[in-house]
Amino acid sequence: MVPSSPSSTDSSGSSPPYLRPPPPMSSKRFRLRPVQAFLILSIIAIITLPFLHQNRETVSSYLSSKYVVTDVSSQHIPQASGGLPGHLNIPLTLEARLSYLLSKPALEQWEAELPNRHGCPMFTFNRNEYFAHNGKEDQWRNVGTTDIRRYRSKMVDYLRGVEREGGKLVWDKSMEAHVPVSERRGIIFTGGEGKTLARMKISLQMLRHVLHTTLPIEVYHFPDELQEAAARAELVDNFNVKLVQIDSKRSGDKSWLIKNEAFLTTNFTEFIYLDSDNIPLIDPRTLFDGVEYQQSGSVFWGDLNKDHPDNAIFRIVGKTCTDEHWPAETGQIIFDKRGNNGLNLAILHLSNHMMQNPDMYGFLSYGDKDTFRYSFYALGLPYQQAPKMFASAGGYQTQNGESSLNFCGHSMIQWGLTPPHAKHDPSYHPPPAFLHTILAKHRNGLQPSKLFTHIRRPRLDGISEPLLVRTLYEWTGDCFAITLKGPDGLPESENSMMDGQGVIMQHMGDLLGSGEVWEELKALSEVFVKINQQ
């Protein structure tokens, strides 16, 4: 027997509580009776069923989602816009798409107002300040259900007329059978007189002698343009272009129609279009490899305005207005006629119809920049947006050329596309691809040394970036202004909103690097200013 320790007992001779053995366990066990189990399950059901009912769509979506195979590393690539939902099961054929267009309900303005204004809320962007929207509300409201059916019928009739005259609405391989492979991709310009021609030479100089592109280039012009042999020879000999005459000029038009006709006339299956006032900053050939272009066979670059929810065009094409996309500016386009199972060719024809009928579409659109997108909507076909919103380019001078402490942007920097190697890199930002001098060409007396010196852009400028609502894109009449709503979003800034958004300035030289493109841009600034003064 082991002797007890003197400290193992208290003065009463009994063991302290912490050394006493635990009481013997009861031999009885808790058993859940059927009645008790039923009551417990009933209580759980009463508590959880309302939750499941109210959130049934979320729960269903969660249970059916395949999260394991979702490629979250490529979610920075914008999704294509304009297509029909897959659950409708509308075949990707022209007949099916036209039949579906004709079958859509024709709505009065009051019937479509609520969903359109929900999808395109007026408080989000300054839609009423866009000059192309001003004073159109009454005209939009007066488009009734009979008018909507007439619009749709005329779309179908026009396309049927193209077929009757021997034209093709759906691309097929026979259309390029006679075209050498090296000539199936190319660049298209339009215009051939005065300042337009002079600015085009700047772009051609950059393409051929700085960027050294080998893509074939076609220049489309009207019969009264490029009539002098010397002018034609200069373009052909210095820039290796092909001149093509278009015979459909109409008096009083702004000549936008020539774009559509050029796109339908060209033998290029894939083309990049450039306005004459658009200066390329990269070899456009690289854009054909862009992830966005490969997704849908077309890419359009964003403009500064947003759609107006009351525009009757949404009732005509049978679509609800949404802010998932930005309206496009068509100073640059990349397009593949083979896209959407060959139906991209029908898009060009339908856009041509809209351009040929300004009495019908003039108050619904602002030229060709809208008709391409509207045609995609009418046929329920997807098109792609460029991944980044444009930056404002200019310098520290007023629109009259006086030095200023305030930045004034008069041109657009449009960014490139996402190369395949960056598909899974959300931090990738494309380089500047185009300098569209959309306002600069209307300014006289500008200082060449301050013409293209800086850019202003949102810090977070993805085309689908929700925080773009904090960066107001606005045409003030003098400049392209990009203004931050509220304080900067960086954590260390005063009163930071902590969302990372802000507006930043960059020097053009830092953006382009110290290479040949930046040096050429500085040199051609002198030429650009002289053209404006002519």
CA torsion angle 125 427 293 440 (round to 10): 50
| pLDDT (tens digit per residue) in 23-54 | 555 445 556 677 777 777 777 766 666 555 55
What is the H or E stretch that residue 328 is in? strand 328-336
Going by the DSSP 8-state scheme, the letter that residue 56 receives in this structure is H
| pLDDT (tens digit per residue) in 153-207 | 999 999 999 999 999 999 999 999 999 999 999 999 998 889 999 999 999 999 9
Report yes or no: 433 and 278 within 8 Å, Cβ to Cβ. no
Q: Which residue has the tokens 């392209």?
A: 480
Model pTM?
0.84
| Best CA proximity match to 207, nearest among 336, 294, 332 | 332
Structure tokens at 384: 């792609």
Report the DSSP pairing between strands 185-190 and 432-436. unpaired
Distance CA 239, CA 197 (A): 13
Q: Side chain identity at 246, as an amino acid letter? A: I
Residues of 305-334 as b/e, b for ≥16 C-beta within 10 angstroms?
bbbbbbbbbbbbbbbebebebbbbbbbbbb
Query: What three-state secondary structure class fits 422?
Result: helix
Burial class (CB in 10 A: 0-12, 13-18, 19+), 477: exposed
458 DSSP β-pair partners: 503
Distance CA 380, CA 83 (A): 5
383 DSSP β-pair partners: 81
Distance CA 471, CA 523 (A): 32
Going by the DSSP 8-state scheme, the letter that residue 468 receives in this structure is G
pLDDT < 70 positions in the chain:
1-32, 45-75, 128, 249-256
Q: Residue 29: its pLDDT value, please?
A: 55
| Best CA proximity match to 191, nearest among 283, 279, 274, 280 | 274
Q: Residue 33: its pLDDT value, please?
A: 73
